[in-house]
Chains A and B, each alone.
Chain A
Amino acid sequence: MTRGLALRYAGAAAALGALALLPLWVSNPYVLSVLTLAALYAIFASSWDILSGYIGQINFGHAVFFGVGAYATGFLGPHLPPLLVFPAGALAAVVFAFLVGLPCLKLRGPYLSLTTLVFPLILERLAFTFRDVTGGEYGLRVDPPLSGTGLYFASLGLLAATLAVLLAVSESRLGRTFRAIGDDDLAAMAAGVNTTRHKLGAFVLGAALAGLGGVLYAYHLRHVGPEVFGLFTSFSIVIMGIVGGMGTILGPAIGAYFLTLLGESLREIETYRLLVYSGVMILCVLFLPRGLWSLGESLPALVRRLGRGAPR
């Protein structure tokens, strides 16, 4: 690990620590609720990054796993203690990861991306169709086991655990193999890497973490409905990943916080939120192609230049 990377990891740990201390000074339930949502989206976006950012297979269907975790909470929440609902949500997401991954991951490039897009749409339609089970467009009511502040800490804890797991994987031989596949999957095959198995592994890992996030998402909203499988959810995550910086784990989490807070500040123009998200993404692609995460690399140099009084 380079010194720069270690510094940025330390920065992320400090940011999480600061967020954990925030309720000491901020007791406004609305603010905590928005930050809880941002943490959940950060889990969602960073878990998406392991397949899409590292292996380079853009997954437009990650909402499936978030949604399945959320629906598992709706179905099982009334019958199981909350501590069992979390593994059940993750397990349900993993089952769907196999169902989606096995046919999809033999495909490459845009074919995989387009195929993954289909699955959340199918599940959204099924949620409408089997209304006796899913509640149709009204969805299912979910009773949270924790207060708003409790959910804030739970989401922050899950985010910290998610980032720790994903960063550990990214720094391991497995993470290097994921990056090698992302660089050139034919060369990876020639190096003896079973690329399909590794892609499936990344898919399953991302799904399990997204499933856990989905459980908290349902508890946070006190409800789960078909909209969780909607295109807005899936596209939002892709945009968060690109704006934050793909292939960095922490970048998509930063993108999630940035866009969630931006979205909340644009509540007055709710209808145009995806438009604003897309505009931000285009600006990022044009002026910050490696995302907000890359500011961590360029800012110190900029500060040094400004310190010398010779901005260029």
Chain B
Amino acid sequence: MSALLAVERVTKRFRGLTALSAVSFEVARGEMAVVIGPNGAGKTTLFNVITGFARPEEGRVTLAGEPVAGLAPHAVVRRGLARTFQIPRPFKSLTVGETVALARPSSAGNVLGTQGAAGVTSAERVLRLVQLWERRDEPSGTLSQGDLKLLEVARALATNPALLLLDEPYAGLGPGEMARLTRVVMDLHAAGLTLVIIEHKLRELMKLTRRVIVLHYGEKIADGTPAEVSREPRVLEAYMGGRGGMAEHA
């Protein structure tokens, strides 16, 4: 499979602190990769750099071979790279339907020149996919935490992405809401959308993915299948200073 996203030796510093240190990895078209790491590992900074919300000091980020690092966030979105936020950021003065309609794709389409790998472009299709169609006329600010997470996904999907980055989508959700979100993620993956997910709820994600990337203090310390990564000594050290700690994050 050819790489859709390529992150090459990306370094990001905040004053004296190195948040990302020469991080490199690739994500193939249609792949689902999960980025994990303890708090402060640099996961959200990585997303911010990929999506144009932060500018890297060094390194390159390319989407289908086209550089995107350094572009403004809206320009990155137009290239086909969408994201959600860890804490939902709804447009409180808009309804659910208006939120998704606002994020409709530009006429230029994404960088692949397709209608999005998942093929979901209309507001109705997106809202039906995340099971929010019935709530389309409700103000976004009145949704539950679980629905807000799904609205984040819907807003990102409405931009017609080739690659979707989900930042801790399970954070703050109950078991029922997690199961609902898992179904949505599995549907998107089955439809061919490329996904990169930051998450701590490893038990949920191990059901979904065959690729895990581990960050620790801004460095990539492991990259492989869940089984490979869980045997990696540096990962075990990072998570609990010994054996068995990754399970605690599950």
Contact = CB atoms under 8 A, between A and B. Distances in A.
A193 B89 CA distance: 15
A195 interface: yes
Given A190-B82, A190-B83, A191-B103, A180 B74 contact: no
Interface in A153-199: 173, 176-177, 179-180, 182-184, 186-196
Max chain A C-beta neighbours (<10 A), residue from B73, B77, B78, B101: B73
Given A176-B102, A180-B102, A189 B74 contact: yes
Contact of A179 (B72, B74, B91): B91
Contact of B155 (A182, A183, A190): A190
A177 B74 CA distance: 13
B164 to A, nearest CB: 11
Contact of B91 (A184, A194, A196): A184
Nearest to B93: A179
Given A176-B94, A180-B94, A189 B72 contact: yes
B90 to A, nearest CB: 7
B102 A177 contact: yes
A182 B72 CA distance: 19
Contacts of A193: 74, 102
B4 to A, nearest CB: 19
Nearest to A181: B91
Contacts of A179: 91, 93-94
A193 B155 CA distance: 12
A27 to B, nearest CB: 44
B53 A189 contact: yes
Max chain B C-beta neighbours (<10 A), residue from A180, A188, A194, A196: A180
Contact of A183 (B75, B83, B92): B92
Contact of A192 (B53, B99, B159): B159
A180 B90 CA distance: 9
Interface of A: 173, 176-177, 179-180, 182-184, 186-196, 247
Interface of B: 51-53, 72-75, 77-78, 82-85, 89-94, 98-99, 101-103, 105-106, 155-156, 158-159
Given A187-B89, A190-B73, A191-B102, 12 more contacts: A176-B101, A179-B93, A180-B93, A183-B91, A183-B93, A184-B91, A186-B53, A186-B89, A187-B85, A189-B74, A191-B159, A193-B102
27 contacts: A173-B101, A173-B102, A179-B93, A179-B94, A180-B91, A180-B94, A180-B102, A183-B90, A184-B90, A184-B91, A186-B73, A187-B85, A188-B91, A189-B72, A189-B74, A190-B73, A190-B82, A191-B102, A191-B155, A191-B156, A191-B159, A192-B74, A192-B77, A192-B103, A192-B105, A194-B75, A247-B93
